[in-house]
């Protein structure tokens, strides 16, 4: 008995012995090793309540300072880059090698390339249309659409109308699918789902054409099993992307997806000899249609530039929101520099931000580093609230 007590003090173990089983238990305890009863650890549950859109790390003082200024704004410009669509599964050009099959994307995005081989260019844009159709607008798209709707739908404060102008550098059409009013949405580089005739005497244009494929000859890229060495991997967007703040794709599905190397099978999928009759044709004159995007070497429509300049000149711009862009593409970067020279307030939402530049002018600039689909709704909450995502978002 004394030995058991001393051993208990040394090891700290609770042993079941003669105290529980009497005399016979004493004999059993000497014959067999004593039974050890391990103490169960109690599970500790966190009592902290996390807001569904407050998962990203943002400086609370910085956010509060931005909120106090946001509610006073009358005129806002929103500049959107490809980083916003990255949360929907569309990879940015800066994070990819820029290759489609064995062709560089720039080589099939010029007027000369379309003139030389329109079939090849249409196959490239048919693939891009399919990628954009499989993606879903994220919370950032819906937040911008709600901000524009609240400012532009005759919302008046002390007799002064509020205005919001959105300048979009993306061609994926996700802002339109999120419900953004097209009257206040300027697409600098066009739209994948717009078509226009190439005939000199025909002015036919078509917008919001979400049909895919446009012709049977382009149906080869409607298969889920695509081959070829391209860094624009075919990642399917989930219907539940809005429930996940990170908007990341399932890692298990990515591991199962196999990448095929460049070979004969990859080159055979691209038909370099498509005739013009197999490509989209104009219903008005029968001419050849082309994607309604701004190619390399083409200029942005003058009416779009004038619309932006008039907004700067006719209104006192209170705030410029730079969302998901690195500020390296012209003329978009020119509008940011213009705002800085005029002393306007600027708020940057991007995954990578030069904090040194932000620190130089804290009084006129905010920097919210992280996924713009997460940080932007938090920053706009005083205006758009928390219920800004429409109920039918799954069908968009």
pLDDT tens digits for 174-197? Answer: 999 999 999 999 999 999 999 999
Decide if pLDDT at 38 tops 60: no
pLDDT tens digits for 216-262? Answer: 998 754 444 443 333 333 344 334 444 443 334 444 444 433 333 33
By the 8 A CB rule, do 325 and 169 touch? yes
Pairing of β 160-161 and β 156-157? antiparallel
> Any idea which architecture 92-134+192-293 has in CATH?
2-Layer Sandwich (3.30)
CA distances 77 to 278, 322, 335, Å, are 42, 9, 10
Which position has the higher pLDDT, 372 or 240?
372
DSSP 370: S
Burial class (CB in 10 A: 0-12, 13-18, 19+), 332: buried
Helix ranges, the chain (H) = 2-11, 18-31, 60-70, 82-86, 111-116, 118-134, 139-152, 174-177, 251-256, 264-268, 302-314, 332-341, 355-360, 372-379, 381-384
Quick one: tokens of 253? 């599905």
Q: What is the CATH superfamily name and number for domain 58-90+135-189+300-396? A: TPP-binding domain (3.40.50.1220)
Quick one: tokens of 166? 């959105």
Q: Could you give the angle at the alpha carbon of 168 between the alpha carbons of 359 and 208, nearest 5°?
A: 160
Quote the pLDDT of residue 359. 65
What does the DSSP assignment read for 252-312? HHHHHSPPPPSSHHHHHTS-TT--GGGS-B-TTT--BEEEEE--TTPPPPHHHHHHHHHHH
Q: Where are the domains of the chain?
A: 2-36, 58-90+135-189+300-396, 92-134+192-293
Decide if pLDDT at 18 tops 60: no
What does the DSSP assignment read for 1-29? -HHHHHHHHHH---EE-HHHHHHHHHHHH
Quote the pLDDT of residue 353. 77
The average pLDDT across 110-127 equals: 94
Q: Please choose, from the candidates 194, 206, 196, 215, the residue with its C-alpha nearest in 3D space to the C-alpha of residue 123.
A: 215
Give me the active site residues, please. 189
């Amino acid at each position: 008995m004394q030995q058991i007590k001393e051993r208990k003090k040394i090891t700290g173990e609770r042993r079941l012995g003669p105290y529980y089983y009497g005399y016979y238990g004493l004999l059993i305890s000497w014959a067999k090793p004593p039974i050890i009863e391990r103490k169960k650890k109690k599970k500790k549950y966190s009592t902290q309540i996390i807001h569904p859109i407050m998962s990203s790390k943002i400086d609370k003082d910085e956010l509060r300072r931005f909120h106090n200024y946001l509610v006073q704004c009358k005129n806002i410009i929103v500049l959107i880059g490809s980083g916003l669509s990255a949360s929907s599964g569309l990879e940015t050009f800066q994070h990819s090698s820029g290759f489609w099959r064995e062709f560089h994307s720039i080589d099939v995005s010029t007027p000369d390339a379309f003139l030389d081989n329109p079939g090849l260019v249409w196959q490239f844009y048919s693939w891009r249309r399919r990628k954009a159709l499989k993606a879903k607008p994220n919370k950032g798209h819906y937040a911008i659409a709600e901000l524009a709707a609240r400012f532009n739908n005759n919302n008046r404060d002390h007799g002064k109308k509020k205005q919001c102008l959105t300048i979009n550098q993306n061609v994926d059409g996700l802002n339109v699918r999120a419900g953004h009013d097209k009257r206040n949405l300027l697409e600098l580089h066009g739209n994948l789902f717009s078509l226009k005739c190439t005939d000199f005497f025909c002015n036919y244009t078509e917008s919001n054409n979400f049909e895919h494929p446009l012709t049977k000859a382009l149906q080869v890229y409607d298969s889920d099993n695509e081959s070829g060495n391209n860094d624009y991997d075919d990642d399917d967007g989930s219907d539940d992307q809005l429930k996940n703040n990170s908007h990341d794709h399932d890692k298990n599905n990515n591991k199962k997806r196999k990448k095929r190397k460049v070979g004969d099978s990859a080159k055979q999928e691209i038909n370099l000899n498509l005739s013009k009759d197999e490509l989209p044709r104009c219903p008005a004159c029968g001419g050849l249609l082309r994607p309604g995007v701004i190619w390399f070497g083409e200029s942005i429509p003058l009416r779009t530039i004038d619309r932006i300049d008039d907004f700067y000149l006719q209104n006192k711009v209170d705030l410029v929101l730079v969302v998901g862009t690195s500020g390296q593409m012209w003329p978009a970067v020119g509008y940011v520099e213009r705002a800085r020279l005029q002393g306007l307030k600027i708020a940057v939402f991007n995954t990578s931000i030069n904090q040194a530049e932000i620190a130089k002018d804290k009084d006129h600039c905010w920097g919210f580093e992280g996924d713009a689909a997460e940080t932007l709704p938090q920053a706009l909450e005083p205006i758009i609230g928390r219920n800004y995502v429409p109920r039918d978002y799954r069908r968009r």
